[in-house]
Amino acid sequence: MNILAKIIRYQIHDISRSMWLIIYTLFFLLTSYGLISFSNNIPKVLVSLMNITLIIIPMVSIIFGTIYLYNNKDYVVLMLSQPIKRTVLYFGLYLGLVIPLAFSFVIGISIPLILSGKNWLEHIAVIVYLFTSGVFQTIIFVSIAFLISIVNENRILGLGLSIFIWLCFAVLYDGMLLLIIEFFQDYPLEKMLIGFLFFNPIDLARILIILKLDVAALMGYTGAVFQKFFNTEWGIILSLSSLTIWSIVPLLIGKSKFLKKDF
């Protein structure tokens, strides 16, 4: 545990000096400040923040995570030459990246919210879900990035695969669902669509936040079905459990590949 803490501390110190992390933090800081300054409608501000975070966080996490592991290959080889367990090194590298990325997101959003002086307590549940979903997206897509980097030796292939996976979750998956709804609009698809949501962590986080903003009425009958399911205790537990599974499965598969990988 002491070795793991040292690796995490070193990685956080190293990443904290990265210009990309500073830009990442400033992006959320300036975006949040701008949205809050130019709008007095708190729900609209939160919806805008949701749309931005659920696009930017997965993209940055998976791309930066992939590049990060490729660029640290020499460091990994050096550490493996020491009496350090591979499992400890793997989780040290992972947490050393996830923690500063998640912290940058939370800080970048929190500071403008606190300094704005507006009454956010009425929407505290939405804000909690916003932060929770952002942290989950960081955890999930960094774990996917690590899996891609470990499985693929070719950097260009790994980076291209990372971008493609992000596009699939952020854009193509929703397009596929729209096509299904269009082709089978005469059939009751609401329950099937709920099942499809669990296969996309971005959509799962989005629907949870939207329903907490009480705008499900704008989604018609489908929104009413979503609200009936996701606003129940079991719906929320199942949704958070699904996000947790999305966080754990790629991470454990990546760890298994890392233990067997010949560096």
Spacing of C-alpha 180 from chain mean position: 26
User: Are 111 and 31 contacting, i.e. CB atoms less than 8 angstroms apart?
Assistant: no
Q: Please report, as a single letter, which amino acid is at residue 102.
A: A
Looking at residue 249, what is its pLDDT? 95
Which tokens go with 107? 């800080």
pLDDT band at residue 222 under the 50/70/90 scheme = very low
Mean pLDDT within 61-68 = 93
Residue 200 has pLDDT above 70, yes or no: yes
Cβ neighbors of 249 (< 8 A, separation 6 or more) are none
Contact 199, 245 (CB under 8 A): no
Going by C-alpha positions, the residue among 162, 24, 166 that lies closest to residue 100 is 24
Comparing 5 with 231, which gets the higher pLDDT? 5
Please say whether the beta carbons of 75 and 156 come within 8 A. no
Residue 221, pLDDT > 50, answer no
Confidence bin at 229 (pLDDT 50/70/90) = low
Instruction: Give pLDDT tens digits for 85-122.
Output: 899 999 999 999 999 999 999 999 999 888 876 777 77
CA quadruple 154, 160, 165, 166: dihedral, nearest 10 = 130
Instruction: Output the CA torsion 213→214→219→225 (10° steps).
Output: 110
Q: What is the rounded distance in angstroms from the CA atom of residue 201 to the CA atom of residue 242?
A: 8
Q: What is the 3-state secondary structure (H, E, C) of the chain?
A: CHHHHHHHHHHHHHHHCCHHHHHHHHHHHHHHHHHHHCCCCHHHHHHHHHHHHHHHHHHHHHHHHHHHHHHCHHHHHHHHCCCCCHHHHHHHHHHHHHHHHHHHHHHHHHHHHHHCCCCCHHHHHHHHHHHHHHHHHHHHHHHHHHHHHHHCCCHHHHHHHHHHHHHHHHHHHHHHHHHHHHHCCCCCCHHHHHHHHCCCHHHHHHHHHHHHCCCHHHHHHHHHHHHHHHCCHHHHHHHHHHHHHHHHHHHHHHHHHHHHCCC
Mean model confidence pLDDT for the chain: 84
Q: Is residue 76 scored above 90 in pLDDT?
A: no
Domain positions in the chain are 2-260
Q: Which residue has the tokens 């598969």?
A: 253
pTM > 0.95: no
Q: Alpha-carbon distance 95 to 101, whole Å? A: 10
Do 187 and 218 meet the contact criterion of CB atoms below 8 Å apart? no
218 — pLDDT class (breaks 50, 70, 90)? very low
Residue 83 has pLDDT above 90, yes or no: no
Question: Tokens 């701008």 map to which residue?
Answer: 34
Q: Which residues contact 72 (CB under 8 A, 6 or more apart)?
A: 93
